[in-house]
A and B are shown apart, each in its own frame.
Chain A
Amino acid sequence: MKLGILINEGPYQHQASDTALQYVKAAIKKGHEIYRVFFYNDGVNNATKLSSPPQDDRNITKEWSMLAKDHGIDLVVCVAAAQRRGILDKDEAKRNGKDADNLEEGFRISGLGQLVEAGIQSDRLITFGD
């Protein structure tokens, strides 16, 4: 089946992103297709490459990034939610006159329409949040 995932909470503060990671790994193992993972609300904070957790803790951003690399999963960050919270790719940084960008590899920034599209195209849309 085609599964769409929506993540509405940032990493570490809440278990949502961890649960989503475990769910996505299990779904891939079972042969399902992850159509898209969409990051909204504070969920956009999962995409910052500046995150530097202690050595003995999991690196949630890196885990998403590696999943995207290994399985070609489309990780999409909502542009409006990301701008509010300071998550920018090179283009967005330039457009907003900022001197730095922080989007982790494997993520891309796009509009809310990508979430609606995930709802339309996926067989199921599952939300993880607070």
Chain B
Amino acid sequence: MSMLHTVNKSPFENSTVLSCISLCSKNSSILFIEDAVISVMKSTKFTDVINNSLKDFKIYALKPDLEARGLSLDNVIEGVKVVGYEEFVDLTTEHDSVQSWL
């Protein structure tokens, strides 16, 4: 079974991003939305965590949320795929189940 995990909290705010990563099984995907898109930026204290996670999971970030926050797509960690709402829908249907980390 494959699972899509969505996270919406900044890693600077609380531990949800880290909890999600620690409970994700291989072949899972993580989609960062809302404030969680901060997680995928280069040169933050969480960049290494995301880089390491990319070895085990597919990682996505919601483009409208990056743009809304003035976060440049050029500064997104390589390997992270930037997607829109329609691809968000595709991700939910392509995986067997969805867990929204709240």
Q: Which residues of A line the B interface, CB within 8 A?
A: 1, 3, 8, 15-16, 19, 22-23, 25-27, 29-30, 32, 123-130
* Least Cβ–Cβ distance between B84 and chain A, in angstroms: 8
**Does B88 lie within 8 Å of A23, measured CB to CB?**
yes
Q: What residues of B have a CB within 8 angstroms of the CB of A1 in the complex?
A: 93
CA distance A32 to B64 in the complex (A): 21
Q: Choose among B6, B33, B102 the residue with the greatest number of A CB atoms under 10 Å from its CB.
A: B102
Interface size on B, residues (CB 8 A): 18
Report whether B93 and A26 are in contact in the complex, using a CB–CB cutoff of 8 Å.
no
The answer to whether B23 has its CB under 8 Å from any CB of chain A is no
Query: Which of B34, B86, B102 has a CB less than 8 Å from the CB of A26?
Result: B86
B:50-102 near A, CB below 8 Å: 64, 84-86, 88-90, 92-93, 97-98, 100, 102
Residues from chain A with Cβ under 8 Å of B89 in the complex: 23, 26-27, 30, 32
Nearest neighbor of B86 in chain A, beta-carbon distance: A26
Q: How far is the CA of A110 from the CA of B6 in the complex (A)?
A: 28
Whole-angstrom CA separation of A126 from B95 in the bound complex? 12
In the assembled complex, the CB of A63 is this many whole angstroms from the nearest CB of chain B, namely 14
Docked-complex contact B86 and A124, CB < 8 angstroms: no
Asked if B97 and A124 sit within 8 Å, CB to CB, the answer is yes
* 8 A-B pairs with the lowest CB-CB distances in the bound complex, closest first: A26-B85, A127-B100, A129-B102, A26-B86, A27-B89, A22-B85, A15-B34, A26-B89
